[in-house]
Structure formats: C-alpha cells, structure tokens
A = this chain, B = another copy of it.
Amino acid sequence: MDALPDFAQILDAAARIAPYASVTPVLRSAMLDALSGAELHFKCENLQRGGAFKFRGACNAVWSLSDGQAARGVVTHSSGNHGNALALAAATRGIAAHVVVPEGAVRAKLEAIERAGAVLHRCAPTQAAREAKCAEVQRATGAELVHPYADTRVMAGQGTLALELLQQVPGLDALVTPVGGGGLASGVAIAAHGVDPALALFGAEPLGADDAARSLAQGSRVTSVVPDTVCDGLRALVGEHNLDALRTHRVEAITVSDVETVAAMRLLWSELKQVVEVSSATVLAAVLQQRQRFAGRRVGLVLTGGNVDLDALPW
C-alpha cells in the first residue's frame, strides 16, 4: 500500500474528502512579506479538522475502503496528529478506529483521540512493540492498517492541499512544506507538479532530523540519523517511496536549526496571529534563512498543524 500515488489518484482523493475536510484559508502578513522580501502565502492547515493536515490523508484512506473492509475498521500506531485524524475520519464513516499508543504519550493527545471516538491500545514505547501491537489488533479485528505516511491513500490525501492552494493562489513560484516521514512532501510534490511542472519545491527539515537532506545529497536513503529536535512532528525518517518522490520532483531540502524554527514560530504567532506547532514553523525559518533565494518570489508555505500544549511553549 506504499506505492506513490499518481496525479489522478490525488484528484480522486480531493473529490472523496470534499464532503468532510475543510477548505482551509490562505493568510498573508505585510510584516512577514517585508521581513522576507518575498510574497508569502500561508496555507493554514492548522485550521483543518483535527487541527492538522493529517485529516486529509486519513479521510482519503477511510473513504477508499470497500464497505466490507470498512466494516472491520481501521488501525494505526500514532499518538500524534495522525492518530487523531484517523479517529475523526473513521467517525465520518461511522466505523471503528483503533489507535496504538506508546506508554508515556501526552495525556491531552490521548484524550483528544478518545474524544474523537477511537479505541486506544497501549504498548511499550518501542517501534517493535508498536508494530507487534498493531499486528495483534489487525489479527483480532481484521482492521485495515493506515500508516501515517508510507501509504498511497494517505499520500494522495495530503497532496490535495496543494491542489487547493494552487487554486486559491494561482501563479505561485515556489512551495515549501516541512519534511518528516515525507507523506506530505511527496503528495504535495506530485500534486503541485501535476498542476504546474515549473513550480520550485522545497522541503524544510530540522537540522537535528536531517535524514531527507542527507539522503537527497548522497543519493541513497540514510537511516542512521537519531532525531534530536524540538520539532516532534518531524522526527520520523523519510519513507523509501516518499524519498523517491522528492528526488523525482527535484524537491530541495533546506535544513533549519531549532533556534531558527522557534523564532519563526513566534513570528507566526505574533504577526500572522496563528497558533501553529513548532514543526510548522520550519517553513518560515527556511524562507528567512535563504532570504536571497526567495526574495521577490511568490511563495506558498504549508502550516501543517496547530496542536500545541499552551502550558509548554518552546520559548
């Protein structure tokens, strides 16, 4: 299920999720334009259902199932935005969602997932334990696994935001997304180049989790990076096929330090008035770091999510 989607599949996804997903606004700031010397268009997926773009992919996966598959529910392992998104998406179809969460996950996030109607399954906080528990739930229930990023349906769903943005703001010169597992970056790349093959694509990545940048530089997938960054949404290693998409679509990686990202996050809060997660701020950090490269251009920046612990801000 992890082959790359093609442009037609992304168009299908857009039609499939339209009754459920929000068309998120694109916001601008005169101050941030002045600061960057560019024309910045922020795609506000923090205003998507569930507070993150992840709803798009999860919703497309849920509504891609046959009735027979759907009756057995869906399962994933994620204590973050994808788990929450899958729970919300399953609720739109009235089917069961099982979310495997590691012991020690943030309580507020687990409560949100439960509120959305999912059944939580706890496991030890290791990758092996998560996968084992997931397999156990699948055996017991027959639920369909929906991986956070290495899933064709999920990548196609994430790609829909690029279709939407390019319709809302025709004539962009460049598009910047964060890169974690690469589901967003790959879906967006395929969608964006389906609309406009000349669009320059950039992936913003934390210096402390720069496996995509290194993989693109050396031409093969680097798996030795041990993530060390405040950007909790971007710690996953980029998926194999996701990386292929970045390469094929000439997505250029820009690495940013956590200090740059936190400063950019503050700017998004104070100037754009948007509550965004720290991971989302990598895109503005990248544009401000590479000022000369973006100056004078019309740039789309994807603000991926707004689920923040207001009692633990990173400044």
CA distance A172 to B91 in the complex (A): 29
Residues of the B chain whose Cβ atoms lie less than 8 Å from the Cβ of A311: 315
Residues of the B chain whose Cβ atoms lie less than 8 Å from the Cβ of A270: 275, 308, 310
CA distance A47 to B308 in the complex (A): 20
Chain B CB within 8 A of A147 CB: no
Residues of the B chain whose Cβ atoms lie less than 8 Å from the Cβ of A49: 30
Chain B CB within 8 A of A266 CB: yes
CA distance A256 to B217 in the complex (A): 58
CA distance A273 to B273 in the complex (A): 9
CA distance A266 to B269 in the complex (A): 14
Chain B CB within 8 A of A25 CB: yes
CA distance A270 to B27 in the complex (A): 19
CA distance A275 to B266 in the complex (A): 11
Q: Are B306 and A315 in contact (CB under 8 A)?
A: no
Residues of the B chain whose Cβ atoms lie less than 8 Å from the Cβ of A275: 269-270, 273-275
CA distance A47 to B275 in the complex (A): 13
A47 to chain B: closest residue by CB: B273
Q: Are B273 and A310 in contact (CB under 8 A)?
A: no
* A244 CB to nearest chain B CB (Å): 33
Q: Are A310 and B315 in contact (CB under 8 A)?
A: yes
Residues of the B chain whose Cβ atoms lie less than 8 Å from the Cβ of A47: 27, 273
Residues of the B chain whose Cβ atoms lie less than 8 Å from the Cβ of A25: 25, 27
Chain B CB within 8 A of A78 CB: no
A275 to chain B: closest residue by CB: B273
Chain B CB within 8 A of A46 CB: yes
Q: 1/0 per residue A49-60: CB within 8 Å of B?
A: 101000000000
Q: Are A306 and B273 in contact (CB under 8 A)?
A: yes
Which residues of A in the span 62-88 have a Cβ within 8 Å of any Cβ on B? none
Residues on A facing B (Cβ under 8 Å): 25, 27, 30, 44, 46-47, 49, 51, 266, 269-270, 273-276, 306, 308, 310-311, 313, 315
Q: Can you sample 24 A-B contacts with CB below 8 Å?
A: A25-B25, A25-B27, A27-B47, A30-B49, A44-B273, A46-B273, A47-B273, A51-B273, A266-B310, A269-B275, A269-B310, A270-B275, A270-B308, A270-B310, A273-B274, A273-B275, A273-B276, A273-B306, A274-B274, A274-B275, A275-B275, A310-B313, A310-B315, A311-B315
